[in-house]
Amino acid sequence: MVQTRDIEYSVDGTVMLGRLHLPDGAGPRPGVLVAHEANGRDVHPLERAHRLAELGYVAFALDYHGGAHVYTDLDEMMTRLAAVASDPARLRGISRAGLDVLLGEPRVDTTRVAAIGYCFGAVMMLDLARSGPDLRAVVGFHPGAADHDPTEAQKITGKVLVCVGSEDPFFPADARSAFEAEMREGGVDWQLHVYGGALHSFTNPAASDAGLPALAFDQWADARSWQAMLGLFDEVLGAPPPAG
């Protein structure tokens, strides 16, 4: 049985509320940092972290808004995201704080750690990787295109997988081309999986609830991208012992 524990930690002048998911058993396991979508730490990242723990990983679903707040007002959410995205040091500080919580968990094998993120959380985890922490893998699901210094890709220590829908207006063809160029020039071991017909937030069954035409769940893109992530984890983290 997966054990969960909420963890408060302070960063950005705010008390964040993340949730740790621990697999059964004892001894060190690979760790995975999970970053939520733009609206907040709702059920989606918690379900993903729980699934990872069921597979034997220690997973920590970080919080980058504070108090596990989930935005329902689009304008308020965009104001928060703009404030964080416009300050690179602040952005990385929030991501790094979540990583530090994961690394501080005694059950984590700190030599085998990965990070995954969804939507703006994917932007954050990719940016975290560019700051050079020892991450074996970084996986971004339907990220947005964000301003950053592409020369920092050379600091990425692990392998990168980005999963995006072909019809995602927030990561269109020109953004995909720029990502490819950045990864090549940085000497990164990278993959870009494009799922035909999929829109933004294709991993989230509740995506359509927002009422935005750019967002829609796609069960096949979701399943395929999850399997692609697990394949990468087997490659770079090694399969964890069976939970239990």
pLDDT for 49 equals: 98
158 lies in some domain: yes
Beta strands in the chain (DSSP E): 3-11, 14-22, 29-35, 58-61, 108-118, 137-141, 159-165, 190-195
CA atoms within 13 A on the CB side of 107: 20
Checking if the pLDDT of 50 tops 80, the result is: yes
| Mean pLDDT value across residues 176-192 | 97
In the prediction, which pLDDT does 26 show?
87
Tens digit of each residue's pLDDT (9 = 90 or more) over 134-143: 999 999 999 9
Task: Output the pLDDT for position 172.
Answer: 95
Q: What is the number of structural domains in the chain?
A: 1
In a domain, 199, yes or no: yes
**Within a domain: residue 241?**
no
Q: Which residues have CB under 8 Å from 163's CB, separation 6+?
A: 139, 140, 141, 142, 193, 195, 221, 225, 228, 229
Domain that holds residue 72: 3-236
> Quick check: is 244 in a domain?
no
What's the confidence (pLDDT) of residue 241?
67
CATH number of 20's domain:
3.40.50.1820
Is residue 103, in this structure, part of any structural domain at all?
Answer: yes
Residue 243 covered by a domain = no
Residues 64-99: tens digit of each pLDDT:
999 999 999 999 999 999 988 888 899 999 999 999
**d(Cα 203, Cα 217) in Å, to the nearest integer?**
6
Could you read off the pLDDT of 92-135 as tens digits, one per residue? 999 999 999 999 999 999 999 999 999 999 999 999 999 999 99
Residue 145 belongs to a domain? yes
- Is 242 part of a structural domain of the chain? no
